[in-house]
């Protein structure tokens, strides 16, 4: 069951430390974390557990076979795809509670075919043109906290 607050989707994440950091962030926000597709690590990986510290019991997390499952299961929800391959800034988007923020694997990003099917839902975090990308866990934090700011609610 999706979160009525915020849903973070990591599509084929590769680095356990990033996923652990994002899991901790989701626990602190009350966001649900989905791990979609093939993982580049085992869920029992010590680096994953260490990065998430003692927040695992405060986290709602679900592993799903693929992104299509989420799109079908929650077809009435908004899905936003974070990428460096668009000009649409995340700060220009109006997020709603219950939205899904989808982030791709660290070395490849979200596949082009997914981005091409969802051009109007692609968002980017501005950065210098001489740089390739931000760290995945930093990117999730930036966009998730913008969504929280827009929701104009206090966490308790």
- Where along the chain do its domains lie? 7-151
152 vs 154: CA distance, rounded Å: 7
pLDDT of residue 13: 96
Task: Give all strands (DSSP E) within 19-105, no chain letters.
Answer: 32-36, 60-64, 79-82, 100-103
Which DSSP category does 142 fall into? Answer: H
Contact 85, 122 (CB under 8 A): yes
Helix, coil or strand: residue 99:
coil
**How many CA atoms are closer than 13 Å to the CA of 115, on its beta-carbon side?**
17
Contact 103, 8 (CB under 8 A): yes
Residue 55 confidence (pLDDT) above 80 = no
Instruction: Determine the average pLDDT of the residues in 129-149.
Output: 95
- The pTM of the full predicted model, rounded to 2 decimals, is 0.94
Residue 141 confidence (pLDDT) above 60 = yes
DSSP annotation string for 38-58: --SS-TT-HHHHHHTTT-GGG
What's the start-to-end Cα distance of the chain, in Å? 21
Instruction: Determine the average pLDDT of the residues in 7-34.
Output: 94
Please report which confidence band the pLDDT of residue 51 belongs to, taking 50, 70 and 90 as the band edges: low
Instruction: Determine the average pLDDT of the residues in 140-155.
Output: 94
Residue 53 confidence (pLDDT) above 80 = no
Decide the pairing of beta strands 32-36 and 60-64.
Answer: parallel
CATH of domain 7-151: 3.40.1280.10
pLDDT of residue 52: 57
């Amino acid at each position: 069951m999706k979160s009525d607050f915020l849903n973070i989707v990591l599509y084929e994440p590769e680095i356990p430390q990033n996923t652990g950091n994002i899991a901790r962030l989701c626990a602190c926000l009350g966001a649900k974390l989905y791990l979609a597709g093939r993982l580049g690590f085992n869920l029992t990986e010590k680096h994953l557990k260490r990065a998430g510290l003692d927040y695992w019991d405060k986290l709602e997390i679900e592993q799903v076979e693929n992104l299509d499952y989420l799109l079908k299961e929650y077809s009435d929800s908004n899905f936003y795809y974070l990428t460096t391959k668009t000009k649409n800034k995340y700060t220009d988007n109006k997020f709603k509670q219950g939205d899904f923020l989808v982030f791709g694997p660290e070395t490849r990003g979200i596949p082009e075919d997914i981005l091409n099917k969802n051009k109007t839902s692609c968002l980017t975090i501005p950065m210098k043109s001489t740089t390739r990308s931000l760290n995945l866990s930093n990117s999730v934090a930036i966009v998730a906290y913008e969504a929280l700011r827009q929701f104009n609610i206090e966490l308790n």
